[in-house]
């Protein structure tokens, strides 16, 4: 069936669920080959599904076709590590890092640092609330502009 049909929509839902379950279990994003094997599909089908899922910006791909972002998780290590119990994930930015404990409804410790002096500014999240009483989160780009240059944002 053609892209955009019920079949591709069902596959995209299966792919999204597979990616999130894998990421939560393994603390990293699956590679295209792992998705293809786990879903018994070709790498070409998986890449097409990832491309469709990326249209919403929740998923974003690297130039090589592998995942870069699975909102709010980063598929590559960043300066925003998020520790939840014994598990560790990364956010692409502080906004995404704060989204991880919110999504999981878990307490967390978020590593962050000042962008100009590298001063350590960790954030503790307990019962859905930041325990940190000092600090500043600076979002220099308006939300409506974030996806024009996500790497800069």
Matching CATH topology for 6-71 and 81-148?
A: no
The pTM for the full model equals: 0.83
Write down the domain spans for the chain.
6-71, 81-148
pLDDT in tens, the chain (153 residues): 445 556 678 999 999 999 999 999 999 999 999 999 999 999 999 999 999 999 988 899 999 999 999 999 999 999 999 999 999 999 998 999 999 999 999 999 999 887 778 888 899 999 999 997 777 677 777 777 766 655 555
The architecture that CATH gives domain 81-148 is Super Roll (3.15)
CATH number of the domain located at residue range(s) 6-71 in this protein: 1.10.10.10
Q: Which long-range contacts (CB under 8 A, 24 or more apart) does 131-138 make?
A: 137/94, 137/95
């Amino acid at each position: 069936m053609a892209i955009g049909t019920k079949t591709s929509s069902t596959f995209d839902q299966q792919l999204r669920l597979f990616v999130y379950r894998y990421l939560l279990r393994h603390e990293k994003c699956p590679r295209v080959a792992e998705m293809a094997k786990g879903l018994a599909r070709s790498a070409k089908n998986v890449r097409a599904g990832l491309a469709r899922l990326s249209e919403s910006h929740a998923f974003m791909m690297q130039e090589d076709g592998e995942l870069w972002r699975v909102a709010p998780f980063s598929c590559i290590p960043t300066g925003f590590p998020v520790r939840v119990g014994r598990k560790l994930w990364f956010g692409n930015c502080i906004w995404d890092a704060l989204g991880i404990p919110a999504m999981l409804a878990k307490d967390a410790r978020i590593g962050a640092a000042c962008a100009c002096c590298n001063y350590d500014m960790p954030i503790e999240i307990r019962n859905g609330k930041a325990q940190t009483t000092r600090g500043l989160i600076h979002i220099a780009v308006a939300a409506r502009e974030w996806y024009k240059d996500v790497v800069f944002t």
